[in-house]
């Protein structure tokens, strides 16, 4: 996919366009320096009721998700590029690429028990968890959010290594 040109956001025209040599980005070696803060969109699901299965579209909603509502059961997250039109993470990423995704959820005693990419197989048992053990129970701290953070590395066609961490944020 080396023939693709990078995309940039043109706030003056309120559009995304291909990068050209005349665009005013400050490049240093192979890194891109932002001349302003990097602001990301977040998918906030309010009043999600007892939902226990979430499909997160990275193209539509960005790399952050917050669920404001306790799931009815242990929950599942499926990451994909987009459901309409269908764009898979497998298509977005080249071998050796990585992406980060974080989910904040007011889960109570519930925990993540299924993690899929593009609707594929459940990867929960093959995630490399910080500390070496899959977090499969929660204490149910009141007024708190669990933060599941993942780094996903594409290693082949529809093959990924997933590195996960869980932190609890309470007041």
Task: At 13, list the tokens.
Answer: 């025209």
pLDDT digits (tens, 9 = 90+) for 122-143: 999 999 999 999 888 887 777 8
Q: Provide the 8-state DSSP code for 107.
A: -
Alpha helix stretches (DSSP H) within the chain: 58-61, 89-92
pLDDT digits (tens, 9 = 90+) for 15-56: 666 655 554 554 445 555 566 677 788 999 886 767 788 999
Instruction: Name the residue among 119, 108, 105 with its Cα closest to residue 148.
Output: 105
Other C-beta atoms within 10 Å of 102: how many? Answer: 16
Between strands 82-83 and 75-80, the pairing is unpaired
């Amino acid at each position: 996919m080396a023939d693709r040109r990078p995309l940039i956001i043109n706030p003056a025209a309120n559009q995304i366009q291909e990068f050209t040599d005349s665009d005013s980005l400050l490049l240093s070696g192979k890194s891109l320096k932002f001349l302003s803060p990097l602001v990301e969109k977040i998918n906030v699901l309010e009043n999600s009721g007892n939902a226990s299965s979430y499909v997160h579209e990275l193209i539509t909603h960005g790399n952050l998700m917050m669920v404001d509502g306790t799931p009815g059961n242990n929950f599942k997250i499926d990451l994909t590029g987009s459901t309409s039109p269908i764009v898979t993470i497998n298509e977005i990423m080249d071998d050796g690429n990585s992406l980060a995704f974080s989910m904040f959820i007011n889960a109570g005693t519930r925990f993540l028990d299924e993690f899929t990419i593009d609707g594929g197989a459940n990867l929960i048992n093959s995630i490399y968890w910080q500390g070496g053990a899959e977090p499969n129970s929660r204490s149910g701290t009141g007024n708190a959010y669990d933060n599941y953070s993942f780094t996903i590395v594409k290693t082949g066609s529809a093959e990924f290594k997933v590195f996960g961490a869980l932190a609890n944020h309470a007041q």
